[in-house]
Homo-oligomer: A and B are copies of this chain.
Amino acid sequence: MKAYKIPEATVMRLSIYSRYLHQLIDERIMTVSSDEIAKGVGVSSAQVRKDLAYFGEFGTRGVGYKVEELYGHLMKILGLNQTWNVIIIGAGKLGSALALYQGFTDRGFIVTAVLDIDKDRIGKKLNKVTVEPLEVLKDRVKEHNINIGVVTVPAAAAQDVTDRLVDAGIKAILNFSPRVLKAPQDVIVRNVDLAVNIEVLSFNLAFNG
């Protein structure tokens, strides 16, 4: 997997800052300080300044940041000044939920294909997309210029699906299966384990509570 030059935690915070700035734009607020951003998203203002410093100087001392300008910068840094076509492999409950997830569309991630091997799922409509058999993977990736693959198949099938995505030329994979996936150096795999998130809660209830 590719090494990040910028810490992943920073990238995730930039994503959160950009949402907050979007909210400010909606409220017609023109300038914002790092303190206000910090308060708005729940991190320290030193953290905000450090995160933004990775990408050069945006703000003016004593004045703060111009909201629209900073928002534009962040969206560009996050690669969100364009849309990305997404293929989802696995049309179960989670795959279907993600295919219909407004939070993806809102940020420019367009689900253009959903594939499965289950005959009962193939043909199912998810908004404008119809579930198709796994065999069309390579064709769809080429045809729709798909950049990102989302894996929502059971653990046992996850590596095979990943190999097929890599073979089709996909360079970025979001993995919801509990399996650790092997992929070439130039392919970024990001694991989303929903249970890890709930375990941060049980830790706090058990350990601090």
Chain A residues close to B by CB (< 8 Å): 1-2, 4-6, 8-9, 11-12, 14-16, 19, 40-42, 76-80, 82, 84, 86, 92-94, 96-98, 100-101, 103-104, 106-109, 147-148, 150, 171-174, 178, 180, 188, 190, 192-209
A198 & B148 in contact (Cβ 8 Å cutoff):
yes
- Shortest A7–chain B CB gap in Å is 10
| Cα of A37 to Cα of B126 in the assembled complex, Å | 40
The listed residue (B92, B103, B201) touching A148 by CB distance below 8 A is B201
Question: Could you list some 17 contacts between A and B, CB below 8 A?
Answer: A11-B199, A15-B200, A40-B180, A76-B206, A79-B204, A84-B205, A98-B194, A101-B194, A101-B195, A103-B193, A104-B198, A171-B205, A173-B201, A174-B201, A188-B201, A188-B204, A188-B205
| Cα of A5 to Cα of B207 in the assembled complex, Å | 10
| Cα of A206 to Cα of B75 in the assembled complex, Å | 11
Q: Which one of A8, A76, A196 has the highest number of Cβ atoms from chain B below 10 Å of its Cβ? A: A196
B172 & A78 in contact (Cβ 8 Å cutoff):
no
> How many copies of this kind of chain does the complex include?
2
Q: A79-B202, A104-B198, A190-B200 are in contact. Are A207 and B93 (CB under 8 A)?
A: no
B106 & A195 in contact (Cβ 8 Å cutoff):
yes
Q: A93-B96, A195-B104 are in contact. Are A8 and B200 (CB under 8 A)?
A: yes
Q: Which residues of B contact A100 (CB under 8 A)?
A: 93
| Cα of A94 to Cα of B171 in the assembled complex, Å | 26
Q: A148-B202, A202-B79 are in contact. Are A190 and B197 (CB under 8 A)?
A: yes
| Cα of A93 to Cα of B43 in the assembled complex, Å | 31
| Cα of A103 to Cα of B196 in the assembled complex, Å | 9
Q: Which residues of B contact A5 (CB under 8 A)?
A: 208
A199 & B101 in contact (Cβ 8 Å cutoff):
no
Extra 19 A-B pairs, beta carbons < 8 Å, given A16-B193, A79-B206: A6-B203, A11-B200, A15-B196, A40-B180, A79-B203, A80-B202, A94-B101, A106-B195, A107-B195, A108-B202, A109-B202, A148-B201, A148-B202, A148-B205, A171-B209, A172-B201, A173-B201, A190-B197, A190-B201
